[in-house]
Every structure is written in structure tokens, then in C-alpha cells.
Structure 1
């Protein structure tokens, strides 16, 4: 299974050990130019939203696991509303992928709603 399949694939409990670091010679140069990072986060409670918001405000991309919540849970509804407002404020984007992930992007990055 490829790294993007692991990042964007099915839910379940993931840990840092589930992600494989790939050797990319040009990564350091590309990162220096854009300054953007992709963060993987887990939302267990309202407090987990703060570092996600900070990352998006700082210009980073966040993929957040919400498997600990039901999509009908009022807490996750409130969290999604907060993250939606952050995406609007920075002119970024937000989508919910299935019942297990939320993807939030920074300024100028939009998420296609069509699968490849």
C-alpha cells in the first residue's frame, strides 16, 4: 500500500509507525520554496482543534482523523464548524472524506471534489 493510500485511505487507528518515510532528494529544496507542510492529526476532543487551526493559519495542510466521533455527534459538528470558519478566514478549503477524515487546506489551496 502506497503512502498516499495510507494517508487518505480507510480509517482505523493509525500511529506514526504506520507511515513510511520516503527518500526524496528534492524535498528539502521544494519545502524551502513553499514552506508548506502536511500534518496528520487526530481529533479526540475540542482541545485537539487548536493545533490544527494554528497549522492552517501558518499555511500548512492538515488531514485529521475523526474516527473517535460519530458524524451525528454534536461535538464533531461544532469542530467542523470551527474548522470551516478557519478555512474561510484564510481563503483555504475544507472537505470531509467519508466518516473518518477532515482535510483542511491553507490560503490558495483548493480540494477537488472529483476523484482521479
Structure 2
């Protein structure tokens, strides 16, 4: 199923109430995008290296740091690494959602600090 089918409907006869699993692998292989938005959960230094590699490869990474914040020392080390990778690639980094998430971007992608809607 392609993006066109999702937007304009397909000949799929399944019920609209059924859950449909959209696998990212289908789109990664078929479209050759300029960059990807990846989602990660980081609990320590080991996972932070994977995130850094993704940013160095030119992808945007949204990182769940909720569990990482339980260990202040690891939190500070990982966040220092994330700030460094954003600086290295001339990207950007911002906290989101009461600092439960961090978004790290590669070169030529900046994150606006201005909120849209919601009275902010």
C-alpha cells in the first residue's frame, strides 16, 4: 500500500475500525528520501551512540529521554553528547514535552522555538 492509497483510499475491503500497521520499512525502501525522522528511546550511553550515528547520517531523531532522567549522571553525559553532535553537524537540538523528548536535527534543519496555536 502506497502513500497515494492512504490519501485517496484503496481497494482494501477491510473495516475502517480495524487497526492497520504502517511499516516504515516499506517507505524507506521505496522512496529514497533525502532524510528520515527516526524515533528512539535512550536509557544510557550505549543507545546514545546509535542516535548520534543517525544524526551524523543526516536523519532527524526524536528521542524519548524519560527513563534516562532517572540517572542524573548518565542524563548529563548523554545530553552533553547530543548537544555536541548537533554542534558538530551544524544542526539543532531542542527539548519538547516538559523535557521528556529531545529532537536532534542534522545540517540545514533548524527547529523553530515559536509555537503554533494552543494559545502560546
TM value normalised by structure 2: 0.67
Give the 5 Å matches for 1:1-116: 21=22, 31-32=31-32, 34=34, 36-70=35-69, 73-97=72-96, 98-116=98-116
Q: Which moved further from structure 2: 74-83 or 51-60?
A: 74-83
Distance 1:21 1:105 in 2: 24
Distance 1:75 1:64 in 2: 15
Residue of structure 1 equivalent to 2:3: none
- Secondary structure of residue in 2 paired with 1:70: helix
Query: What are structure 1's unaligned runs of at least 5 residues?
Result: 1-19
Q: How many pairs align?
A: 93
Residues 55-104 of structure 1: CA deviation (Å, up to 9, x unaligned):
00000000000110337812111111101010011010001112210100
Query: What are structure 2's unaligned runs of at least 5 residues?
Result: 1-20
Distance 2:50 2:33 in 1: 23
Q: Which of structures 1 and 2 has the bigger CA Rg?
A: 2
Distance 1:62 1:88 in 2: 15
Distance 1:115 1:92 in 2: 20
Q: CA deviation at 1:46?
A: 1.0
TM value normalised by structure 1: 0.69
- Secondary structure of residue in 2 paired with 1:112: coil
Q: After TM superposition, where is structure 1 displaced by more than 4 Å over at least 4 residues in a row?
A: none
Query: Is residue 40–residue 63 contact of structure 1 (8 Å, CA) maintained in 2?
Result: yes
